[in-house]
Chain A
Amino acid sequence: MRHTISVLVTNEFGVLSRISGLFSGRGFNIESLSVAETLDHRISRMTIVTSGDDKVLEQINKQLNKLINVIKVHDFTDEEHIERELALIKVTSNGDTRAEILSIVDIFRAKVVDVSPRSYTVEITGDEEKIGAITELFRPFGIKEIVKTGRIAMARTPKQK
C-alpha cells in the first residue's frame, strides 16, 4: 500500500543523503520526494511517498526516527489530508487543436504559462488522479515534455462542532 509520510529534519547538509541512503540501504522504495524549509529555517520538511506492507512501513517509520537528524515522522495514510503535486506539461498544438486544448485547461482549472507556435505549456496542480487525467487527455495531441514535482501533503483541520 502507498503511504505519504512527512518527515521533519534539521536543516543541515547531508541530511537528504542520510534519508535516501536509509531507503536504498534497506531496500525501501521512494516513489517521490520533496524537500523545503519550514517557517523555522533550522528545520526542513520532507514529504516522501513510499509503499510497502504494514511491517515495512513500521520499519520505515522506526528507522527514520532513529536517524539523529530526524525530529518527527508522520504518516498521513490513516487520516484526512490534502495531497498536491504540480506538473508542467508541454503539449503540441496547432490551429486545429488549440481551442480543444484550451477548453481542457479550463475544465481542469489549469493554466497556460507559455505559448509558442507549436506548443502550449500548461501548469496544473492537483492530486495524482487529476494530473493523471489531464495527461491522458493531452496524450492524443502529443506531449513533448512533462515535469512533475514530488507530492506534498497536509492534514485537514478537524471540523469543530
Chain B
Amino acid sequence: MKKNGAQVFLECLLKEGVDTIFGFPGGAVLPVYDALFDSPLRHILVRHEQGAVHMADGYARATGRPGVVLVTSGPGATNTVTGIATAYMDSIPLVVFTGQVPTALIGNDAFQEADIVGITRPCTKHNYLVKDIKDLQRIIKEAFYIAMTGRPGPVLVDLPKDVLTAPCELKYPDKVELDSYQPNYKGHPGQIKKAIDFILSSKRPVVYAGGGVILANAADELKAFSTRLGIPTTTTLMGLGGFPGTHPLFMGMLGMHGTYCANMAVMNTDCLIAIGARFDDRVTGKIDEFAPYAGIVHVDIDPTSISKNVRVDIPIVGDVKNVLKDLLKAISAQGAKDFKGNTKEWHSQIDSWNSTHALSYKNDPKGKIKPQYVVEKLYELTKGDAIITTEVGQNQMWAAQFFKYDRPRTFISSGGLGTMGFGFPAAIGAQIAFPDKTVIDIAGDGSLQMNIQELATAVQYKLPVKVAILNNMVLGMVRQWQEFFYNKRYSHTCISVAPDFVKLAEAYGAAGLRAKTPGEVEGVIKEALSIKGKPVLMDFRVDPAEDVYPMVPAGQPLNKMLLV
C-alpha cells in the first residue's frame, strides 16, 4: 500500500535520528497525528505551543541535538513565534513543523490560516513552505542540515494539509545539495598565525568566551587553550559552563551584571580574545569605551558577527573547536616560554580585583530569605551536579552569579531574546533528554506564570523537574530599574496577587513546598531533591527589596559599576 505524505514525514524524522517531538494537534496536522498513532516516535503533548518550542529548545541545549516541534496551522503556528525567536537569538538548532491549510486555500483567509512563513522569515535561519509532495523529503533533509550546521538556528517547515495526504513513497535523500550555503569551518592559517603572534606578545590578555563555545562542543579545547597560556577567562551568560566555573583562571561572567574582576579585566586588557561571542550590548556596555586598550582577536563561525558592533583587529572565521585546536597546535610549534613571565604582573592585578569586590550579598539568618542564598544552597546540595534552567530577570542573574557551572550544557537560559516563561518548559525538555539528572528551573514568580500551564505536561510524563521560585511578589528586575533610574516610582511591577504556588502545584498533581525563613531553605531543597516521578514547585518567599549587583547602568562603560 502506498503511504501518504504524513507517514513519510514521520519516517523521515526517524531517519534523521529524531527520538522525541514536542507538539500539539489541530485540524491541519491531523494526518500527521493519525500517522503518529502507529509510529514509534515519542510525542510529548504540551499545553501551549510556546511551551513546545521552549521544550524542544531546552532539549537541544541540553543534548546538542536538534529540537523538533509539531503544531497546527494558524494560532498553533503563531504561538510558536516567541519560542522560535528565542532560539534564533541564541543560535539553537530547532526544526519546527507547522500545519497549513491546503495549498488551494492558501491566501484565501481560510479557517486557521496564517502566513507563518512570512511571519517567521526574520526570526528563523531559514524557512520553507512545501507546495508539492515531491519536494517534501528534500526539504526535511535541508531543514535539519541548515538547523545544525554553520551557526545553528531554527528552521520552520510549513506543511499544507493536502501535501500531508498526498500519496508518497519514502525516498529520503542521503545528502543535501545547496550551492548557496557552504559554511566555513576551518580558520584561515594566516589569520591563526597572526593571532598567535599577537597573543604571545601581549602582557594583559583576556579570553572572552560566548555561547559559540558550547554550540561547537569546544569546552575542552577552550580549557586547554586558556590553561596552556594561563589566560584569565570570562564568559558571557551564554558561555557559562563553556569554561569550568570553579577553575582558578575563571573570572566569572562579564557585562551588565558581570563580576567586578571580569569587567575591570576587559577594560584594561591589551589583548581581548573573543571566542564564539558577539559583543552584545549587555556585554559591552558603552560601546565606544569598551576594551579601550585592547587589540581584539575574534573567532566566530558567522562572518556577520565580526566587526558588527566593535572593530576587530584579527578576525578568524571558522568553527570555534577547529580554530582552538589550530591555535593550540601553533602554540606548541612555536613555544610560549616567556609568555607566563610576561603576564605575571597582570595575574596579580586580576587576583587583587578578584578579592576586592567578589560577588556578595548580606545574609541575615534571622531576617528574610535572600534569593542568592537559595541559589548557593541549590549549588551546595546538588554539589553542582544539575542542569539549571532560568527564567528571565533577577532570578536569571543570580542563577548565573551564585551557581558554578563546570560543564557545558548545564546552564540553559534565554540570553539574547530574554524570554520570560522560557525556563520551566526548557527544564521539561532537558529532563526528557536526561530523565535521571537533576533539572532545576531557577524561576521568578513573574516569569513562571507565563508558562505555568506546562505543569500538566510535567505531571503527565512524570517528570521530576524542580522549580525553585525566588518569590518576591514583584517583577524584580524591572522594579530594580525603577528603583535606580525611575525615582522609585514602582509602576505596575507589583504582582502580589498571585496563586498560592503550593496549592497550585497540588491542584496539578505536582508537589508543592514552601520556605518562609532562611532556616527552612535547606530542608525544602533536600525534600524537593528526594521527590521522584513528579514535578516539584518550591516557593521561596524571598526579600523583595534585594537587587542584583554589580550593575553597569545601560549605556555606561563596564568600569562604571554600581557595587553592593
A residues sitting closer than 8 Å to B (CB atoms) are: 9-10, 14, 17-18, 21-22, 25, 55, 58-59, 62-63, 65-66, 68-71
Contact = CB atoms under 8 A, between A and B. Distances in A.
Nearest to A70: B180
Contacts of A62: 303-304, 306
Interface string B297-336: 0000011101110000000000000000000000000000
A17 B118 contact: yes
A21 B307 contact: no
Given A68-B181, A69-B180, A58 B307 contact: yes
Main secondary structure of the interface of A (DSSP, over half): helix
A71 B121 contact: no
A58 B311 CA distance: 12
A17 B180 CA distance: 17
B523 interface: no
A77 B227 CA distance: 46
B303 A65 contact: yes
Given A59-B304, A59-B308, A66-B302, A10 B117 contact: no
Contacts of A17: 118, 121
Contacts of A14: 117-118, 121, 129
A74 to B, nearest CB: 14
Q: Which of A59, A63, A65, A68 has the most CB of B within 10 A?
A: A68
A70 B179 CA distance: 9
A25 to B, nearest CB: 5
Which of B122, B178, B180, B307 counts the most A-chain CB atoms under 10 A from its CB?
A: B180
B146 A68 contact: yes
Interface string B123-148: 00110010000000000000000100
B307 A71 contact: no
A55 B310 CA distance: 10
A38 to B, nearest CB: 14
A43 B180 CA distance: 11
Nearest to B178: A68
14 contacts: A9-B180, A14-B118, A17-B118, A17-B121, A18-B121, A58-B307, A63-B304, A68-B125, A68-B178, A68-B181, A69-B180, A70-B180, A71-B179, A71-B180
Contacts of B121: 14, 17-18, 21
Contact of A68 (B117, B122, B126, B303): B126
Nearest to A8: B180
A94 to B, nearest CB: 48
Interface in B170-202: 178-181
A14 B303 CA distance: 24
B303 A10 contact: no
A66 B178 contact: no
B209 to A, nearest CB: 22
Contacts of B307: 55, 58
Nearest to B181: A68
A58 B307 CA distance: 9
B181 to A, nearest CB: 5
Contacts of B303: 62, 65-66
Contacts of B125: 68
A63 B306 CA distance: 11
A23 to B, nearest CB: 11
A35 B303 CA distance: 26
Contacts of A9: 180
A66 B317 CA distance: 13
Contact of B122 (A21, A65, A69): A21
The 8 closest A-B pairs by CB, nearest first: A62-B304, A68-B126, A71-B180, A62-B303, A25-B122, A68-B181, A63-B304, A21-B121
Nearest to B303: A62
A21 B232 CA distance: 41
Given A14-B117, A58-B307, A65-B303, 11 more contacts: A10-B180, A14-B118, A21-B122, A22-B122, A55-B307, A59-B304, A59-B308, A62-B304, A66-B304, A69-B180, A71-B180
A68 to B, nearest CB: 4
Nearest to B125: A68
A34 B129 CA distance: 25
A118 to B, nearest CB: 42
Contacts of A25: 122
Contacts of A69: 180
B235 to A, nearest CB: 25
B300 to A, nearest CB: 11
Contacts of A66: 302-304
B551 to A, nearest CB: 29
Interface string B393-432: 0000000000000000000000000000000000000000
Contacts of B126: 68
Contacts of A68: 125-126, 146, 178, 180-181
